[in-house]
Structure 1
Amino acid sequence: MERAAVFDVDGTLVDTNHLHVTTWWEAFRQAGHQVPMHDIHRSVGLGSQDLIAHLLGEDRDQDEVDALSAAHKTLYGTYFDRLHPLKDAGRLLKRLDDDGWTVVLATSAGGSELSALRRAIDADDAIKATASADDVSAGKPAPEPVEHALGLVGIPPEHAVFVGDTVWDMRAGSRAGVTCVGVLCGGIPRADLVEAGADAIYRDPEHLLALLPDSALAPKA
Structure 2
Amino acid sequence: MGQQDTPPGGRRRGVLFDVDGTLIDSSYLHTVSWWGAFRQFGYDIPMASIHYLVGMGGDRLVDTLLPADRDRSADADIMDSHGALYGAHWPSLRAFDGSKDLLAQCHAGGLAVALASSAREKDLQVMKGILDADAFIDAATSSKDAEESKPAPDILAAALEAINVEPADAVFVGDAVWDMKAAAALGIPAVGVTCGGISADVLREAGAVDVYDSPADLLRNLAGSAIGKLLNRGS
Do they fold alike, i.e. is TM over 0.5?
yes
Partner residue in 1 for 2:6 = none
Query: Distance between the aligned counterparts of 1:122 and 1:82, measured in 2?
Result: 16
Give the drift of 1:112.
1.0
The CA deviation at 1:81 is 2.6
Matched, 1:43 2:57: no
Q: Which residue of 2 aligns with 1:65?
A: 75
Match of 1:22 among 5, 13, 32: 32
Identity %: 41
* Cα deviation, residue 61, structure 1: 3.8
Aligned residue type for 2:144: D
Aligned letter for 2:195? C
Deviation at 1:62, TM superposition (A): 4.3
**Are 1:115 and 2:125 an aligned pair?**
yes
Distance 2:226 2:57 in 1: 27
The 5 Å alignment of 1:170-185 reads 170-185=180-195
The 2-side partners of 1:130 and 1:77 are apart by 20
Q: Of 208, 211, 218, which residue of structure 1 is paired with 2:221? A: 211
Tell me, yes or no, if the aligned pair for 1:2 and 1:155 is still in contact at 8 Å.
yes
Q: Does 1:191 align with 2:194?
A: no
Q: Give the SS at the match of 1:142.
A: coil
What is the TM-score when the length of structure 1 is the normalising length? 0.96
Tell me which amino acid in the other structure corresponds to 2:118: S
Contact 1:81/1:116, CA 8 A, preserved across alignment? no
The answer for the alignment partner of 1:104 in structure 2 is 114
Residues 59 and 130 of structure 1: CA distance in aligned 2, closer, same or farther (over 3 Å): farther
Task: Quote the Cα distance in structure 2 between the aligned partners of 1:129 and 1:77.
Answer: 23
Q: Report whether the alignment pairs 1:142 with 2:155.
A: no
3-state SS of 1:46 partner: coil
Question: In structure 2, what residue type is equivalent to 1:121?
Answer: L
Amino acid across the alignment from 2:163? V
RMSD (CA atoms): 1.2
For residue 81 of structure 2, what is the amino acid of its counterpart?
A
Unaligned runs of 5+ in 1: none
Unaligned stretches of 5+ residues in structure 2: 1-10
SS in 1 for 2:112: strand
Q: Does the alignment pair 1:159 with 2:186?
A: no
Is the radius of gyration larger for structure 1 or structure 2? 2
